[in-house]
Amino acid sequence: MPQAVTKIKACIFDMDGLLLDTEVIYSEVANKMLEPYGKTFTLETKIKMMGRDVKSATEILLSELELPHTFEEWDSEAQRVKAELFPKAELMPGASRLIRHLAKHSVPVAVATSSSKPMFLIKTGRHGDVFKLFGENITCGDDPAIKSGKPAPDIFLTAMQRLDPGLEPSDCLVFEDASNGVEAAKRAGMSCIWAQDTRFMLDKSATPADHAATERITSLVDFVPEKYGLAPFET
């Protein structure tokens, strides 16, 4: 059961693995680049990387797999492979319905993604009809205002201030798919829906720790807006 929250006035969304099905493509990128080294991108390593900014995530990869590269060396090639593969990213189930519903009911919405702005544009290129509903309310991981990436709260607090300087953290509901993002939202003082993709669970038979999420679901399809004082979906 979700924890008690005040009526929500704004919603802030992560992007990768939450709105866009990019986590499978991240794995494809990693495995393609690891093939010459005879190494495999494991789920254990992937989970440690999920939700983090590109530098932090890449440094975890290089360390875990003992690769003889600097971040700059690896990222240079990774950016090329990502630019090739990410344009095919599809929307996650329930994402379009939820964003359109919130926009219809004039609920302020923002994106707070660890992706850089150039990668954001590549990933969202096929889905402009949905992402245009966020207007200018897009905060990316390479934004100069973001001093520390998730699990630090910076990106959510920045997104909130840009959305409406009058908002308080308790007014905001964050949607995240990664535990690092859930931690960032809670450190920001915001309620958080953890939409955990069961494809990226190490033990699918176990009940995972909730990381202090307000509520855990396994798909945006399962979100019930009226639990948070928002208008219900039309039937």
Structure tokens at 219: 């798909």
Contacts of 35 (CB under 8 A, 6+ apart): none
Q: Which of 16, 21, 171, 177 is catalytic?
A: 16
CB 50 within 8 A of CB 154: no
Return the H-helix or E-strand segment holding 24. helix 23-34
Contact 219, 196 (CB under 8 A): no
**Cross-strand partners of 191:** 173
- 142 in active site: no
Distance CA 100, CA 103 (A): 5
Q: Is 21 a catalytic residue?
A: no
User: Contact, 186 vs 192, CB < 8 A?
Assistant: yes
Cα separations in angstroms, 207 against 108, 115, 201, 213:
33, 29, 10, 14
Residues with active-site annotation: 14, 16
